[in-house]
Copies of this chain bind each other. A is one copy, B any other.
Amino acid sequence: MAAVPTLLVLDADPLPRLGRLTGRVRVLHADDATLADLLPAADVLLVWDFTSRAVRAAWPGEGPRPAWVHTASAGVDHLLCPELVASDTVVTNARGVFDEPVAEYVAALVLAMAKDLPRTWELQGRGEWRHRESRRVAGTRAVVVGSGPIGRAIARTLKALGVTAAVVGSVPRTGIHGPDDLDRLLARADWVIAAAPLTERTRGMFDLRRFGVMQPSACFVNIGRGGLVVEEALVRALRSRWIAGAAVDVVAAEPLPSDSPLWRVPGLIVSPHMSGDVVGRHDELSAQFVDLFERWAAGRPLKNVVDKQRGYVPGR
């Protein structure tokens, strides 16, 4: 490492606040087009624009490359190309920043579906006063698939609303169910929440068979990654009323094109990958990166280190 390390920032607006690092780092800025050229000169890559898919394509096969990549996101599926996984480059993520915001967003969707708010908006648009009954949330059952800090925060928030929430992870541990329990839990759930990282093990896990296991009164929520769901299967499940409703904040191809049929599936709520994006998060993400940078520059161990084989930060 050079005396003053080079930090390459894959930019997005607003820029990260790196003031505390002034004089201790040389900062270069890249966009998708310039990333490949600039990468070999960087000691550290900050993937601030976590919607970019450019890192996979731009990652050098051989030769100089950053020793450390940090992404301002919880998921790392947009980074992990085979060359990066095989390299000794360390990858860290924004573990912790999005947990509570995403949990609140899930609570908002669950309550909106229970209280039939989408229909309320539709009727309001037509000036129709049509009284309906709604569902209690307290006393219902949720399954949260994904046992990272986001999944656990979702379970905590739903429990605060009186929901019985079970969490399913890749391995059973205290308070967390293993994959063997999944189908049994799905069959009794009122709410199924997808909050798992996208890995080779989780890709397409919500398929026609799994929607078929769910109750006709169940609602499905995906705030994880679009690739967790076989989208045609979700559409069939909704159209066939195998499940009562769904909300997806993430889809396979983002941004969803305006001519996608997904926008118009009855009972499906589509939002633009915003569940964790609360006002104030940029400051929190900046501060988290600066803290990690200071650890790295001082030769202390990093935190939030991704297990590149597994595709996420292994839990507690």
Binding site for B on A (CB under 8 A): 100-101, 104-105, 107-109, 111-112, 114-115, 117-118, 120-124, 126-138, 157, 160-161, 254-256, 258-260, 263-264, 269-274, 277-281
Q: Given A101-B136, A132-B274, A133-B278, check contact A117 B108 (CB 8 Å).
A: yes
Closest chain B CB from A284 CB (angstroms): 11
Q: Given A128-B258, A258-B127, A277-B133, check contact A114 B118 (CB 8 Å).
A: no
Closest chain B CB from A124 CB (angstroms): 5
Per a CB cutoff under 8 Å, which of B117, B127, B255 touches A260? B127
- Structural contact, A108 and B115, CB atoms closer than 8 A: yes
Closest chain B CB from A252 CB (angstroms): 13
A273 to B129, CA, bound (A): 9
**Please, could you name 20 A-B residue pairs with CB atoms under 8 Å apart, sorted by A?**
A100-B138, A101-B134, A104-B161, A107-B111, A108-B115, A118-B121, A121-B121, A121-B122, A123-B272, A124-B269, A127-B260, A129-B258, A131-B274, A131-B277, A133-B278, A134-B277, A134-B278, A136-B279, A136-B280, A160-B161
- Structural contact, A135 and B279, CB atoms closer than 8 A: yes
Q: Given A255-B129, A259-B127, A263-B127, check contact A120 B271 (CB 8 Å).
A: yes
Closest chain B CB from A32 CB (angstroms): 17
Closest chain B CB from A57 CB (angstroms): 22
Known: A108-B114, A118-B121. 17 other contacts (CB 8 A): A105-B115, A107-B107, A108-B112, A111-B111, A117-B271, A120-B270, A120-B272, A121-B121, A124-B263, A129-B256, A129-B272, A131-B272, A131-B277, A133-B278, A134-B278, A134-B279, A135-B278
A126 to B269, CA, bound (A): 13
In this complex, what residue of B is CB-closest to A157?
B161
- Structural contact, A100 and B134, CB atoms closer than 8 A: no
